[in-house]
Amino acid sequence: MPQTIAVLDFGSQYTQIIARRIREFQVFSKIYHFSTPPERLREDGVIGIILSGGPSSVFAEGAPIPDPGIFEMGVPVLGICYGLHLMGHLLGGKVVKGDRREYGHGNLKIRSRGRLFKGLPSRLRVWNSHGDELTRVPPGFKPIASTENAPYAVLEDRKRNFYAIQFHPEVFHTERGTDIIKNFLIGVCGAGQDWTTRDFIKHAVAEIRGAVGKSRVILGLSGGVDSSVAAALIHRAIGQQLTCVFVDNGLLRKGEREAVESLYKRNFKIDLRVVDASELFLQRLKGVEEPERKRKIIGNTFVEVFEKSLKKIGHADFLAQGTLYPDVIESVAIGDNPAALIKTHHNVGGLPARMKLKLLEPLRELFKDEVRRLGGALGLPREVVWRQPFPGPGLGVRVIGAVDDEKLGILRQADAILQEEMMASGWYWKVWQSFCVFLPVKSVGVVGDERNYAWVIAIRVVESIDAMTADWTRLPYDLVQKVSGRITNEVRGVSRVVYDVSSKPPATIEWE
Ligand code: XMP
């Protein structure tokens, strides 16, 4: 077992963020249920404990309370927010119930830096979110910093290496918060910073093997980053016990199915079943113009086809998914309080419940950038790991209006030209998304001496951080010219190419 920092989870929506911050310093951490007994923590090689925040009050009925034995283990403890109130409550201080929950910025004044604030300025802006209040410091502790509202914002017990912080060092809104965590990990717990992606893989492989045993696992591969990395990781762990299913819905880009087959079948030797359901999808989409109806048809048909293919494959016990941490939380902030993130659990159309499949989600604690790094370490090529997002309904929402073979064929060719030129110029890697849209509009052009009445293709290239907002990319005119020239020359049935110069908002990234 590596040196482990235990994060005891008291229900804070920030627990995973604490774990992520710890990983950023190449220290191994594990999230435990708040009631985990000290013996278990000791077995796991725990060298420090962080008590997460939580929505509860220590006085609430059924409030989560840890095993008091954790304070006798002789390892450093850092209590955050609810963690501070718990330490106050359990270690002989006094905590009173606050009238209302306080959240927002506070100004921290540090009186004594100790090890926790080593190298930090004496004033920091911090983020608060708490209900209870500590009114008497427990024996052995000394307050070392305060805010305008809390004289005991930070406590230290140097002898036992116990620290308690009322604010949240793990959130982005707290200035130098990550340095505070680092000081605890390195300066107080003495963690060696040697936990690498390779170690993560080794550990994840062991966990997957432990969870799966000899059972069979099915994974729906989309070719996107998340399902690809999940497939590569699970395959590393259990080899042929994993079967991947790739559904060709007829709405894929040029060469996409072949690329997936070649990478996973030939390179990784994964048991990959490609289900060609393109006819069924196109038949159901025939004449359907309304985007949301198209999405619904595509979504429902996918579930149906996937479910059928599972029955064909035979018995499986697990359904693997590339769920990431940001999929687990739904970022609906209430007011401007980032603490009000609501946890939801996504899975593919209720499939696992209906089919009595257990879920295997080895990436569910990771963030996108961590998953990309992991994918690279597992040997996935750059084209997969840094692939631009592609919507589930595929080209179905990029042919405006009713979808048919002719339009899809034209869009596929035009889009392939755009991608080729984006790759060749290196712009593919600099933007968030780049794609073509088929417009069901005929426009007049001239070819030789003849009038040509043909379709219009729009080029959409955007920059974005999270797809919530986006700006259209100022591609060099020469590049736009090259793409446009190639599309009108090489793709029959297109007479005109336009460049989309709308930002989001008010436009969306996709046209439908
Ligand atoms: P919009 O068009 O809403 O897109 O600005 C934001 C991001 O989401 C992608 N997108 C989808 N992804 N199913 C998906 O899996 C969908 O129906 C869908 N619609 C949009 C879009 O490509 C962009 O990255």
**Rounded Cα–Cα distance for residues 364 and 366 (Å):** 6
Pairing mode, strands 471-472 and 494-499: unpaired
| Ligand 1 pocket member 510 (CB < 6 A) | yes
**Residue 511 domain-assigned?**
no
**Which mutation among 285, 435, 510 tests ligand 1's pocket best, with the greatest number of atoms within 8 A of CB?**
510
Half-sphere exposure for 334 (CA within 13 Å, toward CB)? 5
Question: What phi and psi, each to the nearest 5 degrees, are found at residue 243?
Answer: -120, 130
Cα(85) to centroid(ligand 1), Å: 42
Give yes or no: residues 299 and 433 share one domain: no
**Residue 65 domain-assigned?**
yes
| Ligand 1 pocket member 504 (CB < 6 A) | yes
Beta strands in 10-110 (DSSP E): 28-33, 46-51, 77-80, 94-96, 102-110
Last residue of a domain, one of 164, 188, 212: 188
Q: Which atom of ligand 1 is nearest to 295's Cα?
A: 17
**Residue 301 domain-assigned?**
yes
Lookup: tokens for 110: 């540090």
**Rounded Cα–Cα distance for residues 31 and 360 (Å):** 17
Q: Could you give the 3-state DSSP secondary structure of residue 244?
A: strand
**Rounded Cα–Cα distance for residues 75 and 172 (Å):** 27
Query: What's the CATH code of the domain at 427?
Result: 3.30.300.10
Give yes or no: residues 16 and 129 share one domain: yes
Cα(292) to centroid(ligand 1), Å: 12
What is the number of domains present in the chain? 3
- Give the H or E element holding residue 362: none
Other Cβ atoms closer than 10 A to 102: 15
Q: Which atom of ligand 1 is nearest to 510's Cα?
A: 2
pLDDT at 252: 98
* pLDDT-flagged residues of the chain (< 50): 330-349
Q: Could you give the 3-state DSSP secondary structure of residue 54?
A: coil
Cα(428) to centroid(ligand 1), Å: 18
Give yes or no: residues 32 and 61 share one domain: yes
Closest CA to 135 of 168, 159, 163, 166: 166
Catalytic choice (133, 156, 170, 365): 170
Straight-line distance from the first to the last Cα atom of the chain, in angstroms, rounded to the nearest whole number: 50
Lookup: tokens for 354: 């209906």
Ligand 1, atom 16: nearest CA belongs to which residue? 391
Give yes or no: residues 212 and 341 share one domain: yes
Cα(19) to centroid(ligand 1), Å: 29
Cβ neighbours for 267, distance < 8 A, ≥ 6 positions apart: none
**Which mutation among 348, 509, 511 tests ligand 1's pocket best, with the greatest number of atoms within 8 A of CB?**
509
Lookup: tokens for 200: 């993560």
**Rounded Cα–Cα distance for residues 402 and 400 (Å):** 7
Query: What's the CATH code of the domain at 350?
Result: 3.40.50.620
Give yes or no: residues 360 and 220 share one domain: yes
pLDDT at 100: 67
pLDDT tens profile 224-275: 999 999 999 999 999 999 999 999 999 999 999 999 999 999 889 999 999 9
Question: Residue 350: which region, alpha, beta or left (left: phi > 0; alpha: psi -120 to 50)?
Answer: left
On whether the CB atoms of residues 48 and 188 are closer than 8 A, the answer is yes
Give yes or no: residues 444 and 365 share one domain: no
Dump the DSSP string for 286-333: TT---HHHHHHHHHHHHHHHHHHHHHHH---SEEE----HHHHEE---
Cα(397) to centroid(ligand 1), Å: 9
| Ligand 1 pocket member 509 (CB < 6 A) | yes
Give yes or no: residues 372 and 454 share one domain: no
**Residue 11 domain-assigned?**
yes
Catalytic choice (168, 235, 361, 370): 168
pLDDT at 282: 98
Cα(391) to centroid(ligand 1), Å: 5
Ligand 1, atom 10: nearest CA belongs to which residue? 391
Residue 80 vs residues 14, 193, 443: alpha-carbon distances, Å: 10, 22, 63
Ligand 1, atom 22: nearest CA belongs to which residue? 391
| Ligand 1 pocket member 467 (CB < 6 A) | yes
The beta-carbon contacts of 462-466 under 8 Å, at least 24 apart in sequence, are 462/431, 462/432, 462/433, 462/434, 462/504, 462/509, 463/430, 463/431, 463/432, 464/432, 464/433, 464/504, 464/509, 465/432
Could you tell me how far CA 425 lies from the centroid of its own chain?
Answer: 29
Cα(259) to centroid(ligand 1), Å: 22
Query: What's the CATH code of the domain at 150?
Result: 3.40.50.880
Cβ neighbours for 95, distance < 8 A, ≥ 6 positions apart: 58, 59, 85, 88, 89, 132, 133, 134, 135
| Ligand 1 pocket member 295 (CB < 6 A) | yes
Cα(510) to centroid(ligand 1), Å: 6
| Ligand 1 pocket member 391 (CB < 6 A) | yes
**Residue 54 domain-assigned?**
yes
| Ligand 1 pocket member 389 (CB < 6 A) | yes
Closest CA to 131 of 149, 111, 110: 149
Last residue of a domain, one of 188, 214, 244: 188
**Residue 391 domain-assigned?**
no
Is 81 among the catalytic positions?
A: yes
On whether the CB atoms of residues 494 and 455 are closer than 8 A, the answer is yes
Ligand 1, atom 14: nearest CA belongs to which residue? 391
Cα(156) to centroid(ligand 1), Å: 48
Range of the domain at 244: 197-385
Last residue of a domain, one of 162, 188, 214: 188
**Residue 424 domain-assigned?**
yes
Give yes or no: residues 291 and 413 share one domain: no
Q: Which atom of ligand 1 is nearest to 464's Cα?
A: 24
**Residue 20 domain-assigned?**
yes
**Rounded Cα–Cα distance for residues 457 and 488 (Å):** 9
Give yes or no: residues 207 and 177 share one domain: no
Give yes or no: residues 218 and 183 share one domain: no
Give yes or no: residues 378 and 450 share one domain: no
| Ligand 1 pocket member 387 (CB < 6 A) | no
Sign of CA dihedral 88, 41, 34, 62: negative
Other Cβ atoms closer than 10 A to 435: 25
| Ligand 1 pocket member 393 (CB < 6 A) | yes
Give yes or no: residues 45 and 92 share one domain: yes
pLDDT at 466: 85
Amino acid (one-letter) located at 294? K
| Ligand 1 pocket member 297 (CB < 6 A) | no
Cβ-count burial of 483 within 10 angstroms (0-12 exposed, 13-18 middle, 19+ buried)? buried
Q: What's the predicted TM-score (pTM) here?
A: 0.84
Amino acid (one-letter) located at 312? K
